[in-house]
Chain A
Amino acid sequence: MSIPIACRGWLAALLVAAPLAAQSIPVVEKTLSNGMRLVMVERHDQPTISLGWMAQAGSADERPGITGMAHLFEHMMFKGTRIIGTKDAKRDAELNDLQDQVQAQIRQEMSILRERQRRGEIADMMDPKARTPRLQQLLKDFDGLVQEQRGLVVKDEMDRIYSQAGGTGLNASTSQDRTFYIVGLPSNKLELWMWMESDRLANPVFREFYSERDVILEERRQTLESRPGGVVGEAFNAMTWAANTYHWEVIGWPSDIAQVTREQAAAFFATYYAPNNLTAVLVGDFDPAKAEALAERYFGRIPANTKGVPEVITLEPAQPAEQRMLAEVETTPSFQVEYKTVSAVHKDAPALQALAGILGGSPAFMGRPGAGGSGRGPTGRLNKALVLEQKVATSASASFRGQKLGGTFSLRATPAQGKSPADMEALLQTELDRVAKDGVTEAELQRYKKATQVGLWNRLETNSGIRETLSSFLAVGTVKDFEQAQTRFQALTREDIQRVAKAYFPRSGKNVLITQRAAAPKAAEGPMDPDLAALPEPVRARIKAQLDTMMKLDAVALKEQLTALEGRLSAMPPQARPTVEYLMKKGRERLQKLEAK
């Protein structure tokens, strides 16, 4: 019996498609009487449990003025409760009230400064030098209250209790769509988790609220501002998302971080941290029926938000025109083009993910919804074309990022030496156009499907891996989305991929980011030209300025200048000679380059 060649791929696919990863992870889903959801996976390989609960609230649920709020909770939720974290809950609460009162007066002063800044009387309202005498006094008063409270605080008690119980990886993370609080515990400590987590939901105290804003500003400096390209990336994202609340970064704008109030935080908490907006994920060595009963006892005591949790209403309008950002960043030049696409649970998301995988290669780390296909795999079309064959780039990748309210599709390339970032644009476009015109091959599709399976299994081998994977689906969809992820990938056809390649990439949808290497900031003393560094310090600045002028000359003018310098050299006092020799050396190098062109 002979099989037509075109069918062989399909047959092979049927044979390998048998173990659909997500389907063979049995998930138990329960809802408590107050609406809180429990998602549980039993695994008894070792005596541990990976635990977490998610508030379905992220930075997309914020508004201007309180950006960074969702992430602020990632910090505040570790500051204790009425029971945990203080030696004297009563005085602690009084001190919080007093702090709030002083902060209200501080805000009045800040309001004065804001007005001064608006009128141009001061440059920066946050600058300590701009403070009014009353503000200075209020800050001092406030510091006194903080000092008194510090005496009552049981420092990081929550961390201490978990640590002592063998907790690992106590942490939280915030995205645009959700905030997730996690810890790993020995399997006998499930009730401790129930106690601690329901306590911080039932009895929260946002202790050390105002000083924590400083920690977050440091976090912003570390993770965003001091990373090359960090603030440019923030601006590019803001350009891409005009109306959607993905417009700002999760960490928020600095002005909002510095001025958010405890009252605003309490309102956010009451709205979004109600049990009917929470989902717990438990993976490991426990009995789901017992866990459900415990959860009802502990979490069940928290009242639901009967008003309901507001949805994000604003929809991103269709982008009317191509947008471009040209940036100078202190790092290797790069090119990126980003298109807005669809949410992670949209019916076209798997096809877009597959398109990214086939262009970008190495989809073996797939498995999260909408976070796929990214990579620099050797077999991706972009890498084959731009890096290996044409040798015009040192890396080229494609990625689809599906989130709850929308998604993006990006193509990126790092130009090789001698190529500019702008050169990358047409080359990447050609590869995208090729798919739109001719589609992908059956072999590419089948390989992609197999890779997604392996990729998912890669993430489902440990308790915490399952917790993370499940939660990434729950942040944007449901348990069903997790269970059906593989089925959806396996159902993809070549036509699906060609269709999305045609549909989602109009010219007017382009958001382009071109970065060129910026010179190191002037204030830094290095990296300095060693020849220049050899000159006496007092003359360096002047010589540098002369050199800059010289470098702007054309070949003819430069030659004249060099001749003039040479003529003067013999008449110079010996100590002045090195500076002129330096200028001449640089001038000659420049001239050579100009003449070579």
Chain B
Amino acid sequence: MFARTALALILGATGVLAQSIPDRPEKLTFAPVTFQIPRAAELKARLKNGIPVYLSVAEKEASPLVRITLTWRGGSYLEPKGREGLAQLFGAQLARGGTATLSAEKLEDRLEALAASLSSSCGDTSGNLSLTVLEQDLDEGLGLMLQVLTEPAFAQDRLDLAKRQQKQGLGRRNDAVTSIASYQMPFLLYGDSHFASQDPTAASLDALTRDDLKAFHARLLHPSNLVLTVSGRGARKALLAKLDAGLGTLKAGPGAQVSPAVPAPTHVRKPGIYATDKDAPQAMVQWAFPGLRRTDPDWHAALVMNQLLGASGFTSRLMKKIRSDEGLTYGVRTALGAGPHWRGDLTGSMQTKNRSVAYALRLALAEMRRMCDEAPAAEELKVIQDNLIEAFPSQWSGRQAVAARFAEEALLGWPEDWWVDFRAKVQKVTPADVRRLAQRLLKPDQLVILAVGKASDMEAGDGDHPGKLAEILPLPLARLPLRDPQTLKPLN
């Protein structure tokens, strides 16, 4: 205390203290930080049956936990017609339905005794089985994981319960504008027959049996469908030996198949403005332009363009205009889909009160037009580039995240060293590139817009600003009926 006062007096007398805070943050200088990104090849190993493993482990890790995740290629795109919901149920039940030698109750009891978690899930194109366990309990945890993986029982009562829960969930589909939008948009983008819009119905859930789950399991359980990640505390060599002794012995069973490529949608989109009527205080608005793949030579320019448009929070133009200037929304954002299986979409979404939908969309479209008309100022572009480059190390924080990223990318077939020159490529993007990509992607005549809310209010506009919903773009405006929550058939 005394020393501090004395120091302050000395500094104060010489004026150093006052001067030591610069008047602008730009005047601060920073020592460089060097960051080498982890390389997939350094983490990677293979089990003796060929399953790739990405290990990010250390013996001195403070946390005593080990996390092991087995990811498989395969999901709802493999569901037979009329069995929608199979992948999701399979995913949920794999770790919940017991094994050939352990009932569901016994399995849960053992896991609880270890304070371990073993969970599974399956989505459209992939799924996983994931174990978190204390290092001291790793052997038993791995044993349980392997049992669940190779001989799951899919106990009938657990399956019945899951079906009851899911059917209750179906009943909530039309309760909120967000959940309505999340089933409507895939129909607009992918059509009625592509897996991306094929959600479970009451009938398809009723039809699903234990045999369906078993058959689905059998077809997926092929070493060529699997990728493994390990993170947390442990020695790499010893862990690999353990995994080889267990998972490494897995062979393709009789029904096993290498999962085929994910089918691209064939649906021809009908650009337009679609309104679904739902009486709610606030509307959900979503839109989509056809995008590109991450392997496209222009990907980095598209990424920068998208950050500038709507993907970088308050730094992005849409957020500044629609939230900060106009107070019309709590948030607006865009996203550039990487399109692992077919080209992605450039999508956007916001929620705003029903009467503001037309005006907020008009503002959004004007910002997009500006992106196409004028190249951004170099300083504005630099903010976006600096952020992507400077924040790059933080994208690689945490062992689990790094291992998971490499595994996921391997499963999707992205190049292993894709991130190595990421920063350099972002740096090279010019204002002219951004404009070019805006012109390539932000084509209003390709746009699909969905607005879920009170249709009469959305269509009328707010009165204070010009324009009805039908007038925001020269595209057809159509009412899109709600779907029956149980059958997903259009109502009205």
Contact = CB atoms under 8 A, between A and B. Distances in A.
Interface of A: 16, 19, 21, 24-25, 33, 46-48, 78, 83-84, 150, 155-156, 159-161, 163-168, 170, 184, 186-189, 191-192, 195-196, 199, 208, 211-215, 218-219, 221-223, 225-228, 296-298, 301, 330-332, 364, 377-379, 387-388, 391, 394-395, 414, 416-417, 447, 450-451, 453-454, 457-458, 460-463, 517, 520-521, 523-528, 530, 533
Contacts of A460: 62-63
Nearest to B456: A523
Contacts of A414: 168
Contact of A458 (B132, B384, B392): B132
B101 to A, nearest CB: 18
B172 interface: yes
Given A218-B329, A228-B175, A195 B113 contact: no
The 3 closest A-B pairs by CB, nearest first: A166-B390, A214-B327, A526-B482
Contact of A417 (B21, B164, B326, B392): B164
Nearest to B320: A155
A150 B34 CA distance: 39
A225 B281 contact: yes
Interface string B384-409: 10110111111011111000000000
B279 A46 contact: no
Contacts of A215: 323, 327, 329-330
Contact of A163 (B104, B327, B383): B383
A155 B316 CA distance: 10
A199 B384 CA distance: 24
Interface of B: 4, 17, 20-25, 28, 30-35, 62-65, 96, 104-105, 108-109, 112-117, 132, 134, 136, 157, 161, 164-165, 167-168, 171-172, 174-177, 277-282, 312-315, 319-320, 323-331, 351-353, 382-384, 386-387, 389-394, 396-400, 454-455, 481-482, 484-485, 489, 491-492
A364 B67 CA distance: 14
Contact of B65 (A184, A301, A457, A530): A457
Contacts of A377: 112
A378 B105 CA distance: 9
A95 B281 CA distance: 34
A378 B108 contact: yes
Nearest to B173: A527
Nearest to A524: B279
Contacts of B108: 378-379
14 contacts: A166-B386, A166-B393, A186-B391, A192-B25, A214-B328, A218-B329, A228-B175, A332-B168, A364-B117, A450-B115, A454-B132, A460-B63, A525-B277, A526-B174
B390 A160 contact: no
Given A156-B314, A218-B327, A394-B164, A533 B492 contact: yes
Contact of B177 (A170, A199, A226, A416): A226
Contact of B62 (A25, A187, A527): A25
A462 B353 contact: no
Contacts of B482: 526-527
Contacts of A48: 393-394, 397
Nearest to A330: B175
Contacts of A221: 281-282, 351, 353
A221 B177 CA distance: 12
B137 to A, nearest CB: 9
Contacts of A379: 108-109, 112
Given A195-B22, A458-B132, 6 more contacts: A150-B325, A155-B325, A163-B312, A215-B330, A218-B329, A525-B481
Given A168-B391, A457-B65, A208 B397 contact: no
Contacts of B161: 387-388, 391, 394
A517 B399 CA distance: 45
Contact of A297 (B21, B105, B109, B387): B21
A407 B51 CA distance: 49
Most chain B CB inside 10 Å of its own CB: which residue of A159, A414, A453: A159
Contact of A520 (B279, B282, B384): B279
A199 B22 CA distance: 11
Contact of B33 (A160, A161, A188, A196): A188
B171 A208 contact: no
A192 B30 contact: yes
B324 A208 contact: yes
A159 B25 contact: no
B1 to A, nearest CB: 8
A156 B320 contact: yes
Contact of B398 (A156, A227, A378, A462): A462
A203 to B, nearest CB: 11
Contacts of B383: 160, 163-164
A451 B328 CA distance: 45
Nearest to A378: B108
B30 A195 contact: no
A155 B318 CA distance: 12
Contacts of B351: 218, 221-222, 226
Contact of A226 (B115, B281, B396): B281
A208 B326 CA distance: 10
Nearest to B58: A45
A460 B277 CA distance: 45
Nearest to B164: A394
Contact of B115 (A168, A451, A463, A525): A451
B31 A188 contact: yes
Nearest to B18: A301
Given A527-B491, A533-B492, A24 B30 contact: no
Given A186-B393, A225-B281, A226-B176, A218 B115 contact: no
A530 B327 CA distance: 40
A166 B389 contact: yes
Contacts of B391: 163, 166-168, 186
Nearest to A443: B113
B21 A188 contact: no
A21 B64 CA distance: 9
Contacts of B313: 159, 163, 170
Nearest to A220: B330
Contacts of A395: 165
Task: Name the residue in B62, B392, B394, B400 with the highest tally of chain A Cβ atoms < 10 Å from its Cβ.
Answer: B394
Given A25-B62, A527-B482, A186 B397 contact: no
B96 A458 contact: no
A226 B386 contact: no
Contacts of B132: 364, 454, 458
A184 B353 CA distance: 33
